[in-house]
């Protein structure tokens, strides 16, 4: 009898974590490595948020919290959804988890039965299909195209829906492509979903505040109120508030779903870290005046990286609407020979040879379900990005 669960044989380790670890290992060996694999802002957590955490420690807010989160934070989450998204939720319809990953995982544990299908547009965040598989579901991938800015079309969504479809998972702005759906683009998708009342919508809005050039963020339940009763809207403080290590994600949705997810969490981790919750309360309800500065910096970096990558031989990099990723195609480098003498046959070969030749660590696109591409996180200093892009240009120029 096998000791490890059969489910593990269906799951792959996180490619983004693996790339970051490989970059760290090479640095430890003395190599000059620029790591562009991690999806983590380089800015520090704002001081007012850190102060709120310190104040909470001093007040003795160090005990277990309710499973679903402290009441002031749940109320702040409901207020945030009303203020920023025009969505009416009671505090009891919210749930606080240990990062956005736990929120997603809770939803799948609470709803998936063997054979249930979850539609996931590709490219996708590496953890989505693995979470579905671990919970007995079947991921159904809908490939998007670079020429359509990596956005799923209504007719492609319609074609993917079957009687077994339980969820459609939408991530806007997207990790890994940075693509964000406009109000009208979301409306095209929600019109499809209205015709299929058995399908629920799980929307990952983690990069909501990181949109550029006047782009107006929208979320499905806001665009189509008729979907309110079958939508789980997930968000968190990790990206916009530079709080990745604080591990706070949250969601709002119909009472029956939130209660089921709370029951799952009660048997899994119970409440999230008490101090991190008080910090998240300050993030959501305190000053938001630093956000435009963050957006300006990320937009500047995006434009720098897109411009320099499009000057590299064999690369084609579209301009994304948000997040802090670009997802260039390296299709025109396939079949060429790297300086090492290896023929590049896949995007994984491309990123491996790039790391060896120039010390730039990026993530291969096939890990996100769509290649030949690669993902760059530009959440690092301008001068580091410029140096990385110079190296990428040099590498591409050396291919024969």
Q: Which range marks the domain in which residue 114 is found?
A: 63-285
Q: What is the CATH number of the domain that holds 114?
A: 3.40.640.10
Domain co-membership, 18 together with 107: no
Token digits for 90?
A: 């009671």
- Pair (267, 370) in one structural domain: no
Let me know: does 131 contact 103? Beta carbons within 8 Å: no
For residues 115 and 144, state if they share a domain. Answer: yes
Where does a domain end: 253, 285, 317? 285
Instruction: Decide if 223 is inside a domain.
Output: yes
Q: Are 209 and 242 in contact (CB under 8 A)?
A: no
Are 159 and 77 in the same domain?
yes
Q: Looking at the domain assignment, is residue 352 inside a domain? A: yes
Domain assignment present for residue 36? The answer is: yes
What pLDDT, on the 0 to 100 scale, is given for residue 207?
A: 98
pLDDT per residue as tens, the chain (400 positions): 889 988 888 888 777 777 778 888 888 899 899 999 888 899 999 999 999 999 999 999 999 999 999 999 999 999 999 999 999 999 999 999 999 999 999 999 999 999 999 999 999 999 999 999 999 999 999 999 999 999 999 999 999 999 999 999 999 999 999 999 999 999 999 999 999 999 999 999 999 999 999 999 999 999 999 999 999 999 999 999 999 999 999 999 999 999 999 999 999 999 999 999 999 999 999 999 999 999 999 999 999 999 999 999 999 999 999 999 999 999 999 999 999 999 999 999 999 999 999 999 999 999 999 999 999 999 999 999 999 999 999 999 999 9
280 and 302 in a single domain? The answer is no
Contact 326, 305 (CB under 8 A): yes
Q: Tell me, what DSSP letter sits at residue 181? A: -
pTM over 0.85: yes
| Residue 54 belongs to some domain of the structure | no
Residue 193 sits in the same domain as residue 208: yes
Structure tokens at 318: 């579209």
Query: What would the two tokens of residue 359 be?
Result: 């010390």
pLDDT at 189: 98
261/298 same-domain check: no
Domain presence at residue 52: no
In this structure, are 229 and 84 located in the same domain?
Answer: yes
Residue linked to tokens 């491309």: 350
Let me know: does 396 contact 314? Beta carbons within 8 Å.
Answer: yes
**C-alpha distance from residue 246 to each of 59, 177, 321 (Å):** 19, 25, 26
For β-strands 231-236 and 200-204, DSSP reports them as parallel
In a domain, 393, yes or no: yes
Extract the runs of DSSP E, i.e. beta strands, from the chain: 34-35, 94-97, 117-122, 138-143, 165-171, 200-204, 231-236, 249-252, 325-326, 360-361, 363-364, 374-377
User: Residue 2: what pLDDT?
Assistant: 87
Whether residues 191 and 128 share a domain: the answer is yes
Task: Out of 219, 253, 285, pick the residue that ends a domain.
Answer: 285
| Closest C-alpha to 307, from 297, 298, 317 | 317
The answer to the question of residue 49 being in a domain is no
In this predicted structure, what is the pLDDT of residue 211?
Answer: 98
CB distance 302 to 296 below 8 Å: no
The last residue of one of the domains, among 285, 300, 329, is 285
Compute the distance between CA of residue 189 and CA of residue 213 in angstroms, rounded to an integer.
23
Please give the C-alpha separations between residue 5 and each of 10, 172, 227, 265, in angstroms, as whole numbers. 10, 33, 36, 21
Residues 345 and 262 in one domain: no
**Domain-located, residue 57:** no
pLDDT at position 311, please?
Answer: 98
Contacts of 30 (CB under 8 A, 6+ apart): none
If asked whether residues 38 and 114 sit together in one domain, one would say no
Check which CATH number belongs to the domain holding 349 and give it.
3.90.1150.10
pLDDT at 153: 98
Q: How many CB atoms lie within 10 A of CB 4?
A: 7
User: Do 231 and 299 reside in the same domain of the chain?
Assistant: no
Number of domains in the chain: 2
């Amino acid at each position: 009898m096998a000791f490890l669960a059969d489910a593990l044989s269906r799951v792959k380790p996180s490619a983004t974590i693996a790339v970051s670890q490989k970059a760290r290992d090479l640095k430890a060996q003395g190599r000059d490595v620029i790591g562009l694999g991690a999806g983590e802002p380089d800015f520090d957590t704002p001081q007012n948020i850190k102060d709120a955490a310190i104040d909470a420690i001093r007040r003795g807010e160090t005990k277990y919290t309710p499973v679903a989160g402290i009441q002031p934070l749940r109320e702040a989450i409901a207020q945030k959804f009303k203020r920023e998204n025009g969505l009416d939720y009671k505090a009891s319809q919210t749930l606080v988890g240990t990062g956005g990953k736990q929120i997603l995982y809770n939803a799948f544990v609470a709803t998936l039965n063997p054979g249930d299908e979850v539609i996931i547009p590709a490219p996708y965040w590496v953890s989505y299909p693995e979470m579905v598989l671990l919970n007995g579901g079947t991921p159904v991938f809908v490939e998007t195209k670079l020429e359509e800015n990596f956005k799923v079309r209504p007719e492609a969504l319609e074609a993917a829906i079957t009687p077994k479809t339980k969820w459609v998972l939408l991530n806007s702005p997207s990790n890994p492509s940075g693509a964000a759906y406009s109000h009208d683009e979301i409306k095209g998708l929600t019109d499809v979903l209205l015709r299929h009342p058995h399908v629920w919508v799980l929307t990952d809005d983690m990069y909501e505040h990181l949109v550029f050039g006047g782009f107006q963020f929208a979320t499905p339940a806001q665009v189509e109120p008729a979907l309110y009763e079958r939508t789980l809207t997930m968000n968190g403080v990790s990206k916009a508030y530079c709080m990745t290590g604080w591990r706070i994600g949250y969601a709002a949705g119909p009472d029956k779903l939130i209660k089921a997810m709370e029951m799952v969490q009660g048997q899994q981790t119970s409440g999230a870290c008490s101090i991190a919750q008080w910090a998240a309360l300050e993030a959501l309800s305190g000053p938001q005046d630093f956000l435009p500065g963050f957006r300006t910096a990320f937009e500047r970096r995006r434009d720098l990286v897109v411009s320099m990558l499009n000057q590299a031989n064999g690369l084609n990099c579209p301009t994304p609407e948000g997040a802090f990723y670009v997802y260039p195609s390296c299709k025109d480098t396939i079949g060429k020979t790297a300086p090492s003498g290896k023929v590049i046959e896949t995007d994984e070969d491309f990123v491996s040879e790039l790391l060896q030749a120039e010390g730039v660590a990026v993530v291969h696109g096939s890990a996100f379900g769509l290649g030949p591409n690669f993902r760059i996180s530009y959440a690092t200093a301008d001068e580091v990005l410029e140096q990385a892009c110079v190296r990428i240009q040099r590498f591409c120029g050396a291919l024969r």
